[in-house]
């Protein structure tokens, strides 16, 4: 392990010790040793805004995570796509396997911050911040988080993203846990619906495909289901802006218009992302009809727990979440009907 001290002529407040652990276990051990005086740094894009804005003090010890090998890869396996926590948002927003199997995440990563930030910012940092715009996308894809955690006996463990969000909400998240990666189940997708050939499995592929990938599966009765998946973000202005509200939805729609395996989530700003379970129950098993979209919007507005700040009041965020959700469903169905 290497350690760097900053220049002696700098004022004391700017003299953090920078640690370069070789693996996640060492990063956890350093955090255990220095506690609240130490911070893990991935891309540093969020931390930097916090230090500059006076929201958080510059720590005495910075523990770099980018010195740990193997945490940048995006690996496609038979049942999962696993994204290393150090993969950048740019990487995630260009990756064919994520476009195919975790489309809400793929879209989220293309709409977070500006391109220059996305070059540095990592998915792990976005998730571990607990307020990143990627989180609703993780929730609708049933993602799990791979941790090295100094507070659990086994050290390595996998946890559903939805459970971790609940721990965060209850103020019980582990402060000794380094996020190694995020795992996305591929679900029931048929090989025939893939944009990429199966020879990609196990390889890292990085391509920029702007069109949506479409996934299908056929049930035991022979009925064909098509994936419907979207991510929507409302910001303070049109582009390159922090979010006020984000919503994501993933489900499958049959040729008869019936919806199943519905997942709906909302978040945004510095609020905590959450699944909207009442909306999911309302949609599960229903056949699409534009006449129920206002009811969906209003249910989402009631269910979404949000907050007020100088930029927007909670009711505005809640109503916006409902409207984004209903509009997203309407637009997605229209695209399907128009053959897109």
Ligand X SMILES: Cc1cc2nc3c(=O)[nH]c(=O)nc-3n(C[C@H](O)[C@H](O)[C@H](O)COP(=O)(O)OP(=O)(O)OC[C@H]3O[C@@H](n4cnc5c(N)ncnc54)[C@H](O)[C@@H]3O)c2cc1C
Beta-sheet pairing, 17-20 with 61-64:
parallel
The nearer residue to ligand X, 61 or 263, going by C-beta atoms, is: 61
Which among 40-48, 95-103, 256-264, 293-301 is the span making contact with ligand X, rule CB under 6 A? 40-48
Residues 176 and 32: beta-carbon distance below 8 Å:
yes
Which residues on neighbouring strands pair with residue 149, listed in sequence order?
Answer: 177
Which among 44-52, 167-175, 200-208, 295-303 is the span making contact with ligand X, rule CB under 6 A? 44-52
**Cα 240 to Cα 50: distance, rounded to the nearest angstrom:** 18
The nearer residue to ligand X, 135 or 228, going by C-beta atoms, is: 135
Q: What is the closest distance, in whole angstroms, from the C-beta atom of residue 149 to ligand X in the complex?
A: 10
Which among 2-10, 29-37, 114-122, 287-295 is the span making contact with ligand X, rule CB under 6 A? 114-122
When CB distances to ligand X are compared, the closest residue is 125
User: Considering just the CA atoms, what is the radius of gyration of the chain in Å?
Assistant: 21
Q: List the interface residues with ligand X, window 115-134 (CB under 6 A).
A: 117, 121-122, 124-126, 128-129, 132-133
- Stretch (H or E) spanning 156: strand 156-160
The nearer residue to ligand X, 81 or 146, going by C-beta atoms, is: 146
- Give the one residue of 28, 30, 40, 189 binding ligand X; rule: CB under 6 A: 40
Q: Which residue has the tokens 């609703």?
A: 136
**Cα 95 to Cα 259: distance, rounded to the nearest angstrom:** 27
Strand order in the sheet with 80-84: 74-76, 80-84, 177-185, 144-149, 156-160
- Give the one residue of 174, 242, 314, 330 binding ligand X; rule: CB under 6 A: 242
**Cα 3 to Cα 232: distance, rounded to the nearest angstrom:** 42
Q: Which residues bind to ligand X, rule: CB under 6 A?
A: 39-47, 49, 65, 85, 89, 112-113, 117, 121-122, 124-126, 128-129, 132-133, 178-179, 242-243
């Amino acid at each position: 392990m290497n350690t760097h001290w900053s220049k002696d002529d700098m004022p004391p407040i700017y003299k953090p010790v920078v640690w370069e652990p070789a693996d996640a276990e060492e990063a956890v051990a350093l955090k255990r040793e220095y506690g609240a005086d130490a911070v893990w740094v991935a891309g540093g894009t969020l931390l930097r805004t916090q230090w500059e804005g006076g929201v958080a003090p510059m720590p005495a010890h910075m523990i770099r995570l980018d010195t740990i090998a193997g945490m940048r890869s995006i690996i496609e396996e038979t049942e999962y796509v696993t994204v290393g926590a150090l993969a950048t948002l740019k990487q995630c927003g260009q990756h064919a396997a994520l476009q195919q199997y975790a489309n809400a995440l793929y879209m989220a990563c293309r709409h977070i911050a500006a391109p220059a930030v996305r070059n540095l910012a990592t998915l792990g940092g976005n998730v571990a911040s607990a307020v990143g715009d990627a989180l609703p996308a993780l929730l609708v894809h049933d993602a799990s988080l791979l941790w090295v955690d100094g507070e659990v006996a086994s050290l390595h463990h996998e946890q559903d993203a939805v459970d971790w969000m609940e721990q965060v909400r209850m103020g019980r998240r582990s402060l000794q846990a380094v996020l190694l990666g995020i795992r996305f189940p591929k679900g029931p997708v048929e090989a025939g619906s893939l944009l990429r050939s199966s020879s990609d499995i196990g390889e890292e592929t990085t391509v920029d495909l702007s069109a949506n990938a479409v996934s299908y599966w056929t049930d035991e009765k022979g009925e064909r289901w098509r994936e419907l998946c979207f991510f929507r973000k409302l910001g303070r202005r049109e582009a390159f802006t922090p979010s006020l509200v984000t919503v994501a939805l993933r489900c499958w729609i049959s040729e008869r218009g019936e919806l199943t395996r519905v997942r709906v989530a909302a978040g945004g700003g510095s609020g905590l992302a959450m699944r909207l379970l009442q909306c999911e129950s309302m949609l599960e098993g229903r056949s699409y009809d534009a006449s129920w979209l206002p009811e969906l919007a209003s249910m989402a507005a009631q269910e979404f727990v949000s907050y007020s700040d100088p930029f927007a009041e909670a009711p505005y965020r809640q109503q916006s979440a409902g409207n984004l959700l209903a509009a997203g469903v309407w637009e997605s169905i229209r695209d399907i009907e128009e053959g897109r």
